[in-house]
Amino acid sequence: MEEESGEELGLDRSTPKDFHFYHMDLYDSEDRPQLFPEENPRMRKEVVQAETANESTGAGDGKAQSDLREEVEELVHLYGLEDDHELGDEFVDENMPKMGVSEYPPYGMKRRDPAREQRDWRLSGEAAEAEDLGFGGWGSAGQCQDLREVYRYTHGRASEEYECYVIPEEEDEEEAADVFCVTCKTPIRAFQKVFDEHKEHEVIPLSEALESAKDEIHKNMYKLEKQIIDMENFANHLEEVFITVEENFGKQEQNFESHYNEILETLAQKYEEKIQALGEKKKERLEALYGQLVSCGENLDTCKELMETIEEMCHEEKVDFIKDAVAMADRLGKFLKTKTDVEISAQPDFEDQTLDFSDVEQLMDSINTIPAPSAPVINPQAPNSATGSSVRVCWSLYSDDTVESYQLSYRPVQDSSPGKDQAAPSPPIIKTKEIRSCEEAVLICWESGNLNPVDSYTVELTQAESPEASGVTESVVGIPTCESLVQLQPGQSYIIYVRALNMGGPSVRSEPATVHTIGSYFRLNKDTCHPWLAISQDGLTIIRSERSTPRREPPPSDTRFTRCVAVMGNLIPVRGHHYWEVEVNEHLDYTVGVAFEDVPKQEDLGANCLSWCMRHTFASSRHKYEFLHNRTTPDIRITVPPKKIGILLDYENSKLSFFNVDLSQHLYTFSCQLHKFVHPCFSLEKPGCLKIHNGISMPKHVTFY
Amino acid sequence: MITVSQDQQLDRRRMALKQISSNKCFGGLQKVFEHVSVELNCKMKFAVYLPPKAETGKCPALYWLSGLICTEQNFVSKSGYHQAASEHGFFVIAPDASPRGCNVKGEDESWDFGAGAGFYVDATEDPWKTNYRMYSYVTEELPQLINANFPVDPQRTSIFGHGALICALKNPGKYKSVSAFAPICNPVFCSWGKKAFSGYLGKDQSKWKAYNATHLVKSYPDSQLDILIDQGKDDRFLLDEQLLPDNFIAACTERKIPVAFRLQEGCDHSYYFISTFITDHIRHHAKYLNA
């Protein structure tokens, strides 16, 4: 049975080979021979421990062996091993003389190095709270469990069984120490003080030594804990810095690469240009020289010819000679008059060429500079971001930029003063007929109201309860286009104004528009309307009239329905719940539902996968109801024809439901994938009319769906 | 004849309930009880689900009437209704489909008549009339027993399953809503109905009308009922013309009783079909019971 002796924190000790530890609990304390009857068994155990430890190491480390028991007991309670006191008492004694650092399997486990034990110690601090199986230093609960079982096993045996394992140390058992020699750092018996060894040494009572040792241990514990936290923080910090370094260097690399490439390109370009210039020059000169050569040749030829003629002439008769001579003289005269250019036109010398590398130099210089960042973009003012004396400004920057700091400056803009340089713009005009709203937001659009361009627009809204004495006016500023989606509270009424803004200041408020955030409000989109349908003034009634004259089908279009006699509404693009109702006639053939904006306008509603709808057909006194998507419909029979159909569009749950409003009857629910926004759609297969009711809140029966 | 006072009657009912099992499910409790039924003169079991809300207040009650050959267990173990019932806070009560162990001659001979096939009628013929009074049991005795023993709100009751149509149509205003799965809609014209009615009610077909949903609808006094019916398209009983929903639908259309009848593609008559749509049905009832 090889067992490890206890190890000090950070101290490596080797177990002497012939030294064996056995469970103290094998023997009831009473069984041991009482060498010193006046001492209590406890002390004797300590002695044994002390002796054996002393023998094995010869030197403590500032901690008394004998007071370990008490310390350990304390830890036992701390780590919740109260259920088995003996476990704490004796088990600890043998198996955990030090603060849970060592792994102590009684039946043959290898030792661990101190570093590992140091970690275990740390674990014991953390894990001990979590687990009742204390002794975190044991590594795992499982091992601890094993140990306990082992302990119980051994503890349960009668002591006789272990008689053969008589501890040698029993014979060596001596008296318990009762004082502590500070100089030697070892517990000794009082009388030992008298001996030579300890005569001059400082001695303090054991209990004191115990206390101080305990304190030290606690301090160390505390220090270690702190260190753990510090290290962890440091590690985190390092990680952050690591990432930042990567980023920064990445940016630098990129910069340099692009610069460098630029330089190379410029150089290459210069090279090309120069080579080309040289080539041309060469060609030019060669040609000139060649030209000269040619004319020289010609000259020579003429001269030679003349010479020959003259020679021939000299051999002629006198009369002929004189004739020819005169002609010849003329000819010669003329010829000699013409100048021969004997100047070489092209010099072989090369002029001094200075290449202009100044731009390359410039590039080279700039390679070390960091590019100035691009201008940040200020975000439009969010609602509720301003108080009477402060305003919250947010901006964003380009990710390519390296930014060290920002400079924010502001200048108050007076409301009333008209432009010094420029007149303030005119107020915009809200397109009230095109307002779309739902319970959470409103989409407003307006006309600029100005011929000249405007810098930006501001939307102002107040709650309509007390319009004059209103408390808060929310503003949305910096709107670049003539349209704005503003978030609102459900179940309220708002009054909305728009102002235009330019260098001269803001315009006065536009005419107000009122928005109620009850239900969803939309109008029909005239641009999508099939030519055979008419829309009422208020944009909520669709009429297909009887026409006796046959009508041609209109040409295909992307926005306007051509085959299906239908029209779409403009629903606010907000992913929430939308509910509206349609009043129908029992004998009418109609289709109502939703469709994506790009639904094919040449097809029927429900005949493709971009639309979902309910179709009612009335023929031969029979009502037929279809719920169409991609041309398929479930088989549903309804006994009471609805007069008012409620439609619930639920983006969150991807559902579209239809109801008979008067009976609170649920008709059908589609599950539909709505990756984009959809709009309500309506069609009339026969003459008749459909009346839309919207801006109403959902009836209770609909909320179950 | 000994007259029993109201209190004593109540006590007797209270003492009569014996709990057979109890299992926690979706935060509530699924229990099975046994009692001696006065109407049926035998021991009857029924299953009741107590929703979590029952701990703090009264809850609405939903009665499920099972079909042929079922006991109180089939619905409880196979339909998967507990989650929806727990969420909406309903009691769900499922009695057995017929009296049991009555030792009536011939009750175990066929699966579609006698034991397991009570048809929710009050039989008038011997030897059935002593025991086979499922209609009264389900519409009177059982609700009174439930109301006395559980925190049920007696004003809010609904019913679904086979036979529910009959109970609802015969008791206008008693049930706030009705729904059914593949119900027998017109028993007088199908072989099941003919066999059962002639056995329980005798040869006089005028008596059969009282338990014929299609007939009852024609004389239903108002149109405040909202009926949801799911029917599997591949249900062999539909194809065998045992169920005959068309007749019922036509009668409702004429009478303007709101019905939403859904023919479900590929579904049969099994509990797989029922469990697919049970949540829809419970939500249908929630609209009225939790309004």
CATH code assigned at A488:
2.60.40.10
Cβ of A638 within 8 Å of Cβ of B260? The answer is yes
Q: Which one-letter amino acid corresponds to residue B217?
A: V
Sequence letter at residue A126: E
A631/chain B closest Cα distance in angstroms: 16
pLDDT (mean) for B51-65: 89
Closest partner CB to B252 (pick from A639, A664, A700): A639
Q: How much of chain A, in percent, has pLDDT values that exceed 90?
A: 21
Statement to judge: residues A642 and A559 lie in one domain? yes
Domain range spanning residue B124? 6-290
Cβ separation of B287 and A701 shorter than 8 Å? yes
Same domain membership, residue A530 and residue A466: no
Q: Which of A501, A518, A535 is the last residue of a domain?
A: A518
Please report residues of A whose CB lies closer than 8 A to that of B287: 664, 666, 701, 704
- Three-class SS of residue B228? strand
Residue A446 backbone dihedrals phi, psi, to 5 degrees: -150, 170
What is the span of the domain harbouring residue A532?
Answer: 526-693
CB pairs under 8 A between A and B: 56
Q: Which amino acid is at A529?
A: C
Closest CA to B88 of B55, B59, B56: B59
**Residues A434 and A509 reside in one and the same domain:** yes
In a domain, B1, yes or no: no
**A579 and A488 part of one domain:** no
CA contacts within 13 A on the Cβ side of A124: 26
For residue A658 the two structure tokens come to 């239809």
Q: Are residues A429 and A462 in the same domain?
A: yes
For the segment B94-115, the average pLDDT, to the nearest whole number, is 79
- How many domains is chain A built from? 2
Question: Please, what's the largest Cα pairwise distance for chain A?
Answer: 179
Say if B224 is an interface residue toward chain A (CB within 8 Å): no
Nearest to A639 among B258, B283, B286 (CB): B258
Closest A-chain CA to B233: A635
Q: Is A102 within a domain?
A: no
Q: Would you say residue A412 lies in a domain?
A: no
For A172, phi then psi, to 5°, come to -90, 5
Residues of chain A with confidence (pLDDT) below 50 = 1-15, 26-27, 29, 31-32, 34-35, 38-63, 82-140, 156-173, 418-419
Q: Which residue, of A518, A551, A574, is where some domain finishes?
A: A518
Cβ atoms of A45 and A65 within 8 Å: the answer is no
Q: Are residues A674 and A551 in the same domain?
A: yes
- One domain for residues A556 and A576: yes
Q: Does residue A598 share a domain with residue A505?
A: no
Residue A344 · residue A289 · CB < 8 Å:
yes
Q: Rounded CA gap, A476 and A500, in Å?
A: 12
Contact between chains at B262 and A700 (C-beta distance less than 8 A): no
Partners of B262 on chain A (C-beta within 8 Å) are: 634-636
Q: Does B102 touch chain A (CB under 8 A)?
A: no
* B256 part of contact set with chain A, CB < 8 Å: yes
Closest CA in chain A for residue B245: A637
| Residue A295 is assigned to a structural domain of this protein | no
Displacement of CA A270 from its chain's centroid (Å): 45
Q: Is residue A672 part of a domain?
A: yes
Torsion angle in degrees (nearest 10) through CA of A289, A293, A294, A295: 100
CB contact under 8 A, A640 and B283: no
Per-residue model confidence (pLDDT) at position A44: 45
Q: Which residue of chain B has the CA closest to A659?
A: B260
Flag whether residue B218 sits within 8 Å of chain A, measured between CB atoms. Answer: no
Q: Is the pLDDT of residue B235 over 70?
A: yes
Of A518, A543, A568, which closes a domain? A518
Helix-helix angle A206-314:A318-337, to 10 degrees: 150
Say how far apart CA B11 and CA B187 lie, in whole Å. 39
Q: What is the CATH number of the domain that holds B215?
A: 3.40.50.1820
Supply φ then ψ for residue A477, to 5 degrees. -110, 165
My answer on whether A462 and A535 are in the same domain is no
In this structure, are A534 and A462 located in the same domain? no
Nearest to B226 among A635, A665, A704 (CB): A665
Tell whether A111 is covered by a domain. Answer: no
Report whether A649 contacts A579 (CB < 8 A): yes
Nearest Cβ partner of A663 from B228, B258, B262?
B258
- Assess contact for A544 and A533: CB atoms under 8 A: yes
Residues of A with CB below 8 A from B290's CB? Answer: 704
CATH number of the domain at A596, please. Answer: 2.60.120.920
Tell me how far the alpha carbon of residue A551 is from its chain's centroid. Answer: 58
Task: Identify whether A404 is part of a domain.
Answer: no
Question: Is A573 within the bounds of a domain?
Answer: yes
Short-list B149, B134, B119, CA closest to B33? B149
* Domain count within chain B: 1
Rounded Cα distance between B290 and B153, Å, is 11
Are residue A480 and residue A548 in the same domain, yes or no?
A: no
- Show Cβ contacts of residue A324 under 8 Å, excluding neighbours closer than 6 positions: A313, A316
Across the interface, whether the CB atoms of A666 and B262 are under 8 A apart is answered no
Same domain, A672 and A607: yes
Tell me, yes or no, whether A195 lies in a domain: no
DSSP state letter for A601: T
Which pLDDT tens digit goes with each residue over A42-65? 444 444 444 444 444 444 444 455
**DSSP annotation of A138:** G
